[in-house]
Structure 1
Amino acid sequence: MGIDRELVDLIKTVKFESKHILTRSEIYRFGIDTRSMIETGWNVETAQRAVIRKFAMMKQGDGRSFRAMEWRLYCESRDRARLMFLREFEADAAVTSTIAMTAGSDKPPAFGRYPARLGAFEAWTAVMTANEVKALFAVPRLQIGESASVVEGPPSQSMFEIETGGLETAWMQLAATCATAPGVAARAAASAASGPIPHIVPPSESFAAPSPGWGAFVPK
């Protein structure tokens, strides 16, 4: 199966009454799952404020580390939504990045030029109309582009793709909740007045939660 013997060596160090949850880096290094990127579908969560969430992890360099990423889609009114993209911040990198998302030939979401810092994460947000959201799930994959500028040297550009599986169903559920919930207009106005970042659970808590399972979890 191509599994690295290092996994066997690790197993020998774990006592029978204990356990060791494999990290994504270990899963990659041991040859269990060598995909450079893993991702979940788009799913609705209603624990606090209703939101659509998608998680992904992307290999950095030789696979010794993976960067966690998340997309959140909020419904702020019947015809208005807010898309947020969060990812782990590279503390040692003196880089200024801009993010773009495209869905085929349609107009891309207009993310802010500079991200906000949320603990160990940086976040970009974009306000979208309902029709612009529908354009996202009209295609099977979305393209995410990054332009990074460093203090010394030329800027670099990179791109990757994410799947839209589950987004249409999730949006229908979220839009129905947004349209019927009391006080939607007031919350939307308050959100717009408070700035680009809605009140959310800190990303570190989201990624630490067991539900996404970024250790031994291997998405289909």
Structure 2
Amino acid sequence: MNTENQIDEYDNLRQDCWNDALHSFGTSYIYSKRSRKIGKLLKLNNFLGIIVPVVIGGIVTSYNVSADALQIILIIAAPISVLQLVLSVLSLTNKWDDSYSYYLESTNDNGQLSNDYTNLAKYPPQEKSDLKTKKDIINIKYQIRNTNDTKYPLTDEEKREGMKYSLRNFRRSCAGCNVTPTDMKSTNCGVCGNF
């Protein structure tokens, strides 16, 4: 028969699962947000790198363009080409492709961790030892992911935004302001606001 202490430990393990699910979910949200932002910049860079030469080439080959008209076309295309060149330099120096791939990987891994913790909290094994073993297995993945995420650390503002998103998703009240968020508007809370 389970003692009261064993029941408390069991409930604490389940609560830890819920907390870890919440944190993983928020982290997944922030890396997802980063990936969308950088993905748009990469698409813009690729679009500009293709569209300018294609449009100029298409105009020149389709129409009998005089030298004066070609100069006007090139004058119009020059600022767009310079913008694309600047984006390309920024992309290469800041390794946007690497960051984008990493953000997608972290989004997926943290989302899966959140699901694993949530499922374990919702449908725990009956024995405390089995629950602890399963949680320990997920914890190893969680620790590896957190260690990897230090390559691209979250800012304090991002952590608070991720917390608000998670609290809203899990319908939990904030430990700082005791409010259960219903939207993503920033507040003055030091736990789930100021982002």
TM range (shorter): under 0.3
TM-score normalized by the length of structure 2: 0.23
TM-score normalized by the length of structure 1: 0.21
More helix by share: 2
Q: Which has the higher contact order (CA 8 A, sep 6+)?
A: 2
Q: Which has the larger radius of gyration?
A: 2
